[in-house]
Amino acid sequence: MMLRELIKRKQLTVLGLNSGTSADGLDLAAVQLDFTKTRPKIKYFYGKTVAYPKDLSLKIDAAINNRLQSIDDLVLLDRRLGVFFGEQAARIIRLLKARNIKIDLVASHGQTVRHLPGKFIYKGKKQSATLQLGHPESIAEATGLVTVADFRQADIAMGGEGAPVTTGAMSLLFSNKKESRLLINIGGIANYFLFPAGNRFDQIKARDCGPGNSLIDILTRQLFGKKYDADGKLAARGEISWRLLSLLLSDKFLKGQFGVSTGRERFGEKFAGKILRYAGKLHLKREDILATVTELTAVSIAKNIGADIIHHKIENIHLFGGGWKNRYLMARLKSNLPDVNLIAVDKLGFNPDYLEAVCYAIMGGLTIRSIITGLPNVTGTGGRAIAGKIVQPAGR
Ligand SMILES: Nc1ncnc2c1ncn2[C@@H]1O[C@H](COP(=O)(O)OP(=O)(O)O)[C@@H](O)[C@H]1O
Ligand SMILES: [Mg+2]
């Protein structure tokens, strides 16, 4: 369907594509958006994760860790990711068509390879920059559908950090009149979202807490040769080093001295290298190192939300992202937050694996209808952004 027809539709069925900082693969989620009422209605009906092929995964890792040979490599990676996203989206669109579900629009976040919050000053204010790869034109070509992408850049242009960018979409799903709700996403980076009761949009809070699985993944790979610490079993065999932990907690972002977002530039390979050097001096075992970095994730989340839990009388915390499956991490989070229940976000009707892809699908739909996707007091922009770039397929 052409853009000029799409913008008139009160109902849109959107395929959202997400690839997070863990760079483990592509999440795809299909949702139906109904714009008949002021607050759009959202119905979720499909989700899937596809792992990156090995060669792409190595290239992404190289881009994130400054190991690409040239700008050519970066440009080629952008296009190859777009082709991969397009292929996967087209496959799911065919599969859904066989079930009588017709996708109208694709919304793609892209793969973040750089996130640089507050790195230069313009007009007396700290400015940010960020880069997501995955050539949306290639997605539009492969699917024949209008594709909305690059959801962070409008917010960045308006002086925001471009993150946490999904808060507006999340508020449509979770803001509630009667109940304050707190959600935590544990992907590569961990972030939280607070929706105070009464739909008070100006009081919604969201920010990155610090590392999620990023350091756990890197150190599990370096120390044990595995992709991630399945169920947290390796960390569970270790002992937390409180000395190492207190050294790591002196990080400036964790102490709240920077803005609201962070990335693998800070909590990535360099930071993991620092951990290994300290751990060597302290003669820690491999398992102790993992136990300690897992505690770092748990403590930095707890520190960020402790006051809000009391102030908003939060009883349940709703979790999503892959970290939810790390049982040891969940046990440590519970130990740091003994007065709340930790439950998966499916209690609120959404599969924890696909929630971010659902959010990008929503943002794609909002963009097509020129609805502001941001919120005040979250990313630093006053929330005026209409987030996505609209890419159109070849005329048919
Ligand atoms: N069974 C599991 N046990 C422990 N950790 C897991 C498990 N399954 C997934 N994870 C973690 O979740 C990460 C992926 O989470 P995800 O939410 O996709 O993050 P992102 O949004 O950054 O891509 C993996 O890299 C891994 O660290
Ligand atoms: Mg992922």
What is the per-residue pLDDT across 11-44, written as a single tens digit (0 to 9) for each?
999 999 999 999 999 999 999 999 999 899 999 9
- Please give the angle made by the CA atoms of 50, 226 and 249, to the nearest 5 degrees: 100
Angle at 157 between CA 155 and CA 162, to 5 degrees: 35
Q: Quote the CA–CA distance of 278 and 246 in Å, as a whole number.
A: 11
- From first to last of its 396 residues, what are the pLDDT tens digits of the chain? 899 999 999 999 999 999 999 999 999 999 999 999 989 999 999 999 999 999 999 999 999 999 999 999 999 999 999 999 999 999 999 999 999 999 999 999 999 999 999 999 999 999 999 999 999 999 999 999 999 999 999 999 999 999 999 999 999 999 999 999 999 999 999 999 999 999 788 899 999 999 999 999 999 999 999 999 999 999 999 999 999 999 999 999 999 999 999 999 999 999 999 999 999 999 999 999 999 999 999 999 999 999 999 999 999 999 999 999 999 999 999 999 999 999 999 999 999 999 999 999 999 999 999 999 988 888 877 778 899 999 999 986
Superfamily classification of domain 3-171+354-391? ATPase, nucleotide binding domain (3.30.420.40)
Which numbered atom of ligand 1 lies nearest the CA of 187? 19
Spell out the long-range contacts of 40-46 with Cβ–Cβ below 8 A and sequence spacing 24 or more: 40/172, 40/362, 40/365, 40/366, 40/371, 42/172, 42/173, 42/358, 42/362, 44/349, 44/350, 44/351, 44/354, 44/358, 45/101, 46/92, 46/96, 46/101
Q: What pLDDT is attached to residue 381?
A: 78
Cβ(228) – ligand 1 distance below 6 Å: yes
* 135 in Cβ contact with 82 (< 8 Å): yes
What's the pLDDT score for residue 378? Answer: 86
3-171+354-391 and 177-348 agree in CATH topology: yes
Residue closest via CA to ligand 1's atom 12 equals 322
H-state helical runs in 225-311: 233-236, 242-248, 269-281, 286-311
| DSSP 8-state code for residue 187 | S
- The residue to mutate among 115, 183, 213, having the most atoms of ligand 1 within 8 angstroms of its beta carbon, is 213
Q: Whose CA is nearest to atom 15 of ligand 1?
A: 322
Q: Do 186 and 324 meet the contact criterion of CB atoms below 8 Å apart?
A: yes
The strand pair at 105-122 and 146-149 is best described as parallel
Convert the pLDDT of each residue in 338-378 to its tens digit: 999 999 999 999 999 999 999 999 999 999 999 999 888 88
Sequence spans of domains, the chain: 3-171+354-391, 177-348
Which conformational region is residue 297 in: left (phi greater than 0), alpha (psi within -120 to 50 degrees), or beta? alpha
Query: How many other CB atoms sit within 10 Å of the CB of residue 124?
Result: 5
Q: Please tell me if the CB atom of residue 230 comes closer than 6 angstroms to any atom of ligand 1.
A: yes
211 vs 290: CA distance, rounded Å: 13
The size of the chain, in residues, is 396
Q: Tell the CATH topology of 177-348.
A: Nucleotidyltransferase; domain 5 (3.30.420)
What tokens were used for 109? 């976040």
Q: What is the pLDDT of residue 396?
A: 65
Of 79, 93, 87, the C-alpha closest to 30 is 93
Counting from 1 in the atom list of ligand 1, the atom nearest the Cα of 356 is 21
Report pLDDT for 384.
83
Which ligand is closest in space to the CA of residue 20? 1
CA dist., res. 142 & res. 92, Å (int): 12
- Ligand of minimum distance to the alpha carbon of 212: 1
